[in-house]
Amino acid sequence: MENRPDNDKPKNSFRLSDEARAEIDREYMDVPDDYSNYIRPRTVVPNNNFSNYREYNNDFEEYDDHPDRYADDSEEYDYPFDEYEDIQDGYEDVQDEYEDNPEDYSDDFDDFDDIPEEEYGEFPEVETPEGEEERPPKKKKKHWLRRLIVGVIVLCFTVIAVDIGLLFFSGHLWFNEPRKRDYPIRGPVITEKAGEVQWKRFAQQNIQICYIRATKGVSFEDKLFEQNKEGSGQSDLPTGMIHVFDPMRDGEEQAEHFIEVCGGMGGRLRPVVDCDLSVFYSVLPSDEEKVADSLRAFVDRIEEEYGCTPIIKCDADFYEDIASAELFNDCPIWYVSEYKKLPKDVRADLWGYSSRVKFSYYENHNFLEMVVLNGGEDDYYKLTMEDADEEEEAEVETDIEYTE
C-alpha cells in the first residue's frame, strides 16, 4: 500500500503478509490458533468498498508517525497499547461521572436529528459506488384477479339495478303485487287519457271488472265517456262509473250532474265516488264536518236514484278523517294504498294497489290505475246493484198485492 506523507518526510511503504497479521492477532488480540484460517488474503477482492480499510484510507496517520515500525513485514508489530489505555481510562472516567451525576447530562440529543451541525458537522452522504447502479423500486404487484372479480360484481349489480328500474318503469314490477290466488277479481280504471279502447279485445285480457271515469264536480264530463260507455256495454266485461268528488261544491248538485250524464245504470257495477283529496288537503285548510255533510248528501241522492249507496274511493288520510266514521258505514270502501300492504284494521272492500299497470288494445298505451276486490268470488255481490233491483221488484209486488 502506498501512502502520501508530507513533503519533508521520507517516502516509505510497508506490506504485512497474511501470516504476520495472524501472528499479531494471536499475540495481542488473544484469538484462537486457527484464526489464521479466517484471515482473507489480500488478493481476494472484497464484497464491499469498506472491507479493506488500509487500501481505502490513503491517510494512515499511525504509519506517518511511526514509519520505523513497518520497515519490514517480518518484524514484529509493535501495537501502541499506551495510547489505547489512555483512551480506555478516559472512557471509564466519563462513564463513572455519568453514573454519579446523571442529571447533569441532558436528553436533548436523544433524537439523532437534534444534534447541532455546528458542533459535530454534517454527516457524509453515502454515494453509490461506480459500476453499481441503483436498484429501481419494486413495483407493486397488480392484483388483476381481485380487480377482475370486483369489476364483475359491480357490473352484475349495475345490470340488476337497471333491470329493476326498467321493470318498475314499464309497470311489470311494483311495490305491491297482490297474488291472483288471494285476489282473483281485479280490473283497471279507464279515463280519456287512455284514448280509444277496443272494448271487445280489451275485455278478453286477464281482468274481471273495469271502472270508467264519467264526471267531476258539477260541470266536468270525460271527453270519451259516451264512447266508452257504449263500447263497454257491447262487451261481456262488468263496468261501473266513477264521479270525482269536489269538496268545494255541494254534494247533491254533484250527484245530479252525475245522474244526468250517466243515465240508467242497469247491468252496471255499483257507482264510485272518488274522494282522493291529497292535493286539496295539502294546499287548502279543510272543514271535515262540512266535507262529510256534502259527501253524505251525494250518497243519499245516488241511493235515491239507483237504489244503492256508492263506493267511496279514498286514501288513508280521508279514510281516517271522514270515511271511517259511522256516518258512512253503509258505503263500501275503495282503499288506495300503492306503497304498503292493505292494513288489517281498515274496512276495505276494494284495494287500489297500483297506478302503473299497462294492458293492450287501447290507443295511448299509458299507465292505468289498478284495483282488486278484497275477497273472493263470493264477495262479488258487493260491487253489483242486484240488491237494489230486488228491492225495487219487492216494492212493485207489494203495490200489486195492495191494489188487489
The pLDDT value given to residue 138: 61
The pLDDT value given to residue 240: 96
In this structure, which amino acid lies at residue 305?
E
Determine the Cα–Cα distance for residues 12 and 1; give it in Å rounded to an integer: 10
The pLDDT value given to residue 401: 37
Determine the Cα–Cα distance for residues 181 and 178; give it in Å rounded to an integer: 9
Select the more confidently predicted residue: 81 or 247: 247
Closest CA to 70 of 144, 11, 132: 11
Q: Is the pLDDT score of 258 beyond 60?
A: yes
| Lowest-confidence region among 88-92, 184-188, 300-304, 321-325 | 88-92
The pLDDT value given to residue 1: 46
pLDDT digits over 40-69, tens only?
Answer: 554 444 444 444 444 444 445 555 565 665
pLDDT digits over 319-346, tens only?
Answer: 998 999 999 999 999 999 988 888 888 9
Closest CA to 268 of 383, 106, 146: 383
Kindly report the average pLDDT of the chain as a whole number: 75
Q: Is the pLDDT score of 79 beyond 90?
A: no
pLDDT digits over 148-183, tens only?
Answer: 888 888 888 888 877 766 665 655 555 668 888 889
Determine the Cα–Cα distance for residues 357 and 367; give it in Å rounded to an integer: 5
Strands 220-221 and 239-244: unpaired
Q: At what angle do helices 288-306 and 251-262 cross, to 10 degrees?
A: 30
Q: How many CA atoms lie within 13 A of 347 on its CB side?
A: 15
In this structure, which amino acid lies at residue 55?
E
Percent of the chain with pLDDT over 90: 38
3-state secondary structure 261-319: HHCCCCCCECCEEECCCHHHHHHCCCCHHHHHHHHHHHHHHHHHHHCCCCEEEECHHHH
Contacts by residues 165-173 (CB-CB < 8 Å, ≥ 24 positions apart): 168/356, 170/358, 171/354, 171/356, 171/357, 171/358, 171/367
Q: Which residue has the cell 518484524?
A: 75
93 is written with which cell numbers?
A: 472516567
Percent of the chain with pLDDT over 70: 58
pLDDT digits over 97-106, tens only?
Answer: 767 776 665 5
pLDDT digits over 392-404, tens only?
Answer: 444 434 343 333 3
The pLDDT value given to residue 214: 96
Length of the chain: 404
Q: Is the pLDDT score of 390 beyond 50?
A: no
For the ranges 107-111, 112-116, 220-224, 281-285, the one whose mean pLDDT is highest: 220-224
In this structure, which amino acid lies at residue 236?
D
Determine the Cα–Cα distance for residues 17 and 158; give it in Å rounded to an integer: 80
Select the more confidently predicted residue: 60 or 288: 288
The pLDDT value given to residue 61: 52
Determine the Cα–Cα distance for residues 153 and 132; give it in Å rounded to an integer: 47
Closest CA to 292 of 270, 277, 307: 277
